Structure 1
Amino acid sequence: MKFATKAIHAGQEPDPTTGAVMTPIYQTSTYWQKSPGDHKGFEYSRGTNPTRKALEACLAALENAKYGLAFSSGMGATDAVLKLLKPGDEVITGNDLYGGSYRIFTKVYEKYGIKFHFIDFSKPENMLAYVNERTKLVWIETPTNPTMQIIDIEGVAKISKANNLILAVDNTFASPYLQNPMDLGADIVMHSVTKYIGGHSDVVMGALLVNDDQLYKDLWFIYNACGATPGPQDAFLVLRGIKTLHLRMKAHCENGEQVAKFLKTHPKIDKIYWPGFEDHPNHDIAKKQMRGFGGMVSVTLKDADLQETFRIASSFKVFALAESLGGVESLINHPVSMTHGSIPKEEREKVGVTDNLLRLSVGVEDISDLLADLEQALA
């Protein structure tokens, strides 16, 4: 079954009671049992819910995975993966990372005795210097947030497997439409479903996709025991959003390319980060493992201090100044003061997350309106 067909049909069957084509919102906390233990797989909605189950099956199909687990947020999904670890374990992760991931790694889990190595993943073999008997998990995102670093998933997977390490890939920026880390050797794929998969900035959710039976059982135990699971209304909204994921991603990619090309030669732009350019670091890897380059573009403003950066960021009419990304509407974000504020200045500046950097989530509006808005804001 091809991607567009899976997006519309995977995991969903007509409702057996009414024949409804859309999976109903099963707004219930508990389920009737004919006799103790006779519950047809549904006991209590923290653990299982028919609407959420349909969504999880759909998400798994999109990532070519065997199992899916939906969480109440992307951070809830990330937290579940970290709960696989124990004090003394070590994690290898990237040096350009979503601020929320950095925060939970350093502010929550480090105090429980878990050590994190933030490294340059431009070459997979860079991780070898940090592998030891305590290493248990490799966590990468690609493209990275916000400087769009491209990491060779297949290369990292080979090294991880050779050293018996779990490889988790945050696939949020690419979406399953553009990239499938499971096919490249990942053990866990994580999504902030809030972003491209939901696609309409109206729901907060996360997901984990896995193939290994035991890993799924371990994560399901955490999922059920700790309870960071979403309600049926949110699951319904995401199922609805997924039905147009392939259409939206095509438009995001088309608009993203035109915005990136417009900004690359603009006199107010110093640096631009978009993996579709041939001079972007690891462009050849992006071309190999992705089916398109997405709608995320980051830029640094030429000769702009923090005040001037704020002025420009606040001058847009179509792009909304807001956190998050991946919705149908275009957003502009100032990572230093918004999504990456928890990362120390000296750490973020090492990878280019400077005071004059802006991150654009290019939506699906008419491209002429987006380019006109960029022109007036940068004037």
Structure 2
Amino acid sequence: MPKPAKRKHDWKHATLGIHGDGRMKHAHFAVSTPIVQTSNYYFENTSDVYEFMKAKQEGRTIREHEYGRYGNPTQQECERKLAAVEGAERALLFSTGMSAVILTLMTYMQPKSHIIFTSDCYRQTRDFATNMLSRFGVEVSLVDPTAVAIEKAIRPNTHVIFTESPTNPYLRVLDLPAIVKVAKRHQALTIIDATLATPYNIKPLDMGIDIVIHSATKYFGGHNDLLAGVTLGKHDLLNDLYCMQRMIGAMPGPFTCFLLERGLKTFGLRMKQHNGSGLAVARMLESHPKIEKVWYPALASHPDHAIAKKQMKGFGSVITFLVKGGDRETRKFIDSLELFLITPSLGGSESLVTQMSMMSFFDYTEEYRLNIGIVDNLVRIALGLEDVEDLITDLEQALDRI
């Protein structure tokens, strides 16, 4: 695959989501990216096969595709635009966000090495770190989401620092330049899952982070109708991951890539709405007498408010809070909501609500849940694209019922 040309334009998110960094020619001069629905690509004769293989061995490109597991034109166009939006040299698409997380970690981890994770993180990432990595001879530390805690956990064999920012579910925001300094001092690779921020709100690569991962299911797709993940970074750094991707084959199909690329065309517009709604609802919840505590980085009460203001353009539409009372009051509040669907995920057009202890951590023991801060009255909402006045009214009427 050829290296991308140096960026020619200083376009913003809405433009990049539609065009990428320039325009690629499409079949039949189609404006929208065509869905190339095929699993393989034929050659005219054996001489063409020989020339293709020889060119690939020499690092030249005479045609792009040979087999569907190695890439697809619809996928390639989507990756091109994702890289442009992130400001990355290269993007690699996977079938889900967790596919991107796990295969990226498996590519860059080393036997008998040590990986640091933040203790507040997505449940499946935590489970992979604590339950699976030891099988590969990898040691793991889960630490507070601060540069100080990360540096204290550094060992001679620390090879990777894996973070989220904001974290899930408490929306902690890490001081990324400080973490980059720690990583460089100890020659560790930095990987961040920035799903909850998106490149609209934070640019980890510009701050020196090596690799960025997103669940493209969320804000990039934006309509609760697809599953995908993406890993982004420098072209040469991702070569090993590309080989892993070709081997494992956990990439999305052409139709998913079409939906994702279509979602990117409205990404900038949707993020403005998400950011505005998130701030308005967070302020309302913090002032409500039946809410005990709110976590949202834009609020002065958030423990990382100063870092968030410095690093982030906006703060998204995920808000975590405690309902006053316990399990009974929390469930009554959720059941009284009319516009919020009870389901995990975020970043889509519909507003969603989750009682964290029940939906995401039900199979954990109560002792373990409490130890990691998952109490019965902890609620996470992910605002959609409804009118924010309607969302606030719905939340208020549900709180009034408890």
Scaled by the length of structure 2, the TM-score of the pair is 0.90
Is 1:22 the equivalent of 2:35? Answer: no
Query: 5 Å matches for 1:224-243?
Result: 224-243=246-265
Q: 1:45 maps to which residue?
A: 68
User: Which of 115, 121, 141 is equivalent to 2:145?
Assistant: 121
8 Å CA contact retained: 2:216, 2:227: yes
What is the letter of the counterpart of residue 230 of structure 1? P
User: Which of 194, 197, 200 is equivalent to 1:177?
Assistant: 200
- C-alpha change, 1:115 and 1:151, in structure 2 (3 Å) is same
String of CA shifts for 1:223-255, please: whole Å, max 9, x gaps. Answer: 111111110100000000011111101001111
Taking the aligned partners of 1:342 and 1:120, their CA distance within structure 2 comes to 23
What is the letter of the counterpart of residue 90 of structure 1? H
Is 1:109 the equivalent of 2:133? Answer: yes
Taking the aligned partners of 1:257 and 1:325, their CA distance within structure 2 comes to 16
Taking the aligned partners of 2:161 and 2:235, their CA distance within structure 1 comes to 16
Structure (1 or 2) with the greater helix fraction: 2
8 Å CA contact retained: 1:14, 1:22: no
String of CA shifts for 1:115-170, please: whole Å, max 9, x gaps. Answer: 21110123x12212221221111111011111111111111111112211110010
Q: 1:325 maps to which residue?
A: 346
How far off is 1:16 after superposition?
4.2
Taking the aligned partners of 1:64 and 1:13, their CA distance within structure 2 comes to 16
Q: 1:68 maps to which residue?
A: 91
Q: 1:365 maps to which residue?
A: 386
Is 1:158 the equivalent of 2:181? Answer: yes
Q: Secondary structure at the match of 1:83?
A: helix
8 Å CA contact retained: 2:120, 2:145: no
Q: 2:102 maps to which residue?
A: 79
Q: 1:6 maps to which residue?
A: 16
Q: 2:57 maps to which residue?
A: none
Deviates more, 1:68-77 or 1:160-169: 160-169
What is the letter of the counterpart of residue 233 of structure 2? V
Q: Secondary structure at the match of 2:358?
A: coil
- C-alpha change, 1:359 and 1:278, in structure 2 (3 Å) is same
Aligned length: 376
Is 1:280 the equivalent of 2:302? Answer: yes
User: Which of 280, 285, 290 is equivalent to 1:263?
Assistant: 285
How far off is 1:341 after superposition?
4.2
8 Å CA contact retained: 2:13, 2:267: no
Taking the aligned partners of 2:68 and 2:363, their CA distance within structure 1 comes to 34
Taking the aligned partners of 1:222 and 1:278, their CA distance within structure 2 comes to 43
Gaps of 5+ in 1: none
How far off is 1:14 after superposition?
5.6
How far off is 1:360 after superposition?
0.6
How far off is 1:347 after superposition?
4.8
Q: 2:49 maps to which residue?
A: 36
8 Å CA contact retained: 1:100, 1:340: no
- C-alpha change, 1:28 and 1:165, in structure 2 (3 Å) is same
Report the structure number with the largest CA radius of gyration: 2
String of CA shifts for 1:253-286, please: whole Å, max 9, x gaps. Answer: 1111111111101111101000001121121110
Query: 5 Å matches for 1:174-253?
Result: 174-211=197-234, 213=236, 215-253=237-275
Taking the aligned partners of 2:168 and 2:315, their CA distance within structure 1 comes to 14
8 Å CA contact retained: 1:11, 1:56: no
8 Å CA contact retained: 2:26, 2:34: no
Taking the aligned partners of 2:197 and 2:364, their CA distance within structure 1 comes to 23
Is 1:336 the equivalent of 2:360? Answer: no
What is the letter of the counterpart of residue 74 of structure 1? G
- C-alpha change, 1:184 and 1:347, in structure 2 (3 Å) is farther
8 Å CA contact retained: 2:27, 2:34: no
What is the letter of the counterpart of residue 118 of structure 2? G
Taking the aligned partners of 1:224 and 1:378, their CA distance within structure 2 comes to 50
- C-alpha change, 1:57 and 1:105, in structure 2 (3 Å) is same
Q: 1:311 maps to which residue?
A: 332
Taking the aligned partners of 1:345 and 1:225, their CA distance within structure 2 comes to 40
Q: Secondary structure at the match of 2:28?
A: coil
Deviates more, 1:130-139 or 1:191-200: 130-139
How far off is 1:91 after superposition?
0.7
Gaps of 5+ in 2: 1-10, 53-61
Taking the aligned partners of 1:30 and 1:333, their CA distance within structure 2 comes to 41
Q: 1:378 maps to which residue?
A: 399
Report the identity percentage: 38
User: Which of 316, 323, 339 is equivalent to 1:301?
Assistant: 323
Deviates more, 1:252-261 or 1:347-356: 347-356
Taking the aligned partners of 1:144 and 1:181, their CA distance within structure 2 comes to 14
8 Å CA contact retained: 1:99, 1:342: no
Deviates more, 1:27-36 or 1:182-191: 27-36
- C-alpha change, 1:22 and 1:290, in structure 2 (3 Å) is same
User: Which of 123, 130, 153 is equivalent to 1:99?
Assistant: 123
Taking the aligned partners of 1:185 and 1:212, their CA distance within structure 2 comes to 15
Taking the aligned partners of 2:135 and 2:365, their CA distance within structure 1 comes to 17
8 Å CA contact retained: 2:103, 2:241: yes
- C-alpha change, 1:134 and 1:203, in structure 2 (3 Å) is same
How far off is 1:8 after superposition?
0.8
